[in-house]
Structure 1
């Protein structure tokens, strides 16, 4: 909702810039998708590696 209100203010103050933003924003969003996917994958990999390293400690903790 805040983004929409900011866009409305931009459209009132400088409508050519608002039209350029309408065209450029989807292009930038599509270009950023691969980086988001890589970020999600790396987060999962780091969580998996961390879980593997913590597994012996969790096993020992549950035994004792």
Structure 2
């Protein structure tokens, strides 16, 4: 698998974390067994941030409605 080879290259180059920055790369996470490096799925981070922001905006909206 090309992704696995690329991640191994990055590990050999000294990387400790790899961001799977293209939207389709995180789909391969279940098939990549990597224990030497942290694989970061930016889609998860974006989704979590969007939920937090939506919550804050909703709180502000409720505060101003009172």
TM-score, scaled to structure 2: 0.39
Comparing both structures, which one devotes a greater share of its residues to helix? 1
Comparing both structures, which one devotes a greater share of its residues to strand? 2
Greater RCO, CA 8 A, separation 6+:
2
Larger C-alpha radius of gyration, 1 or 2? 1
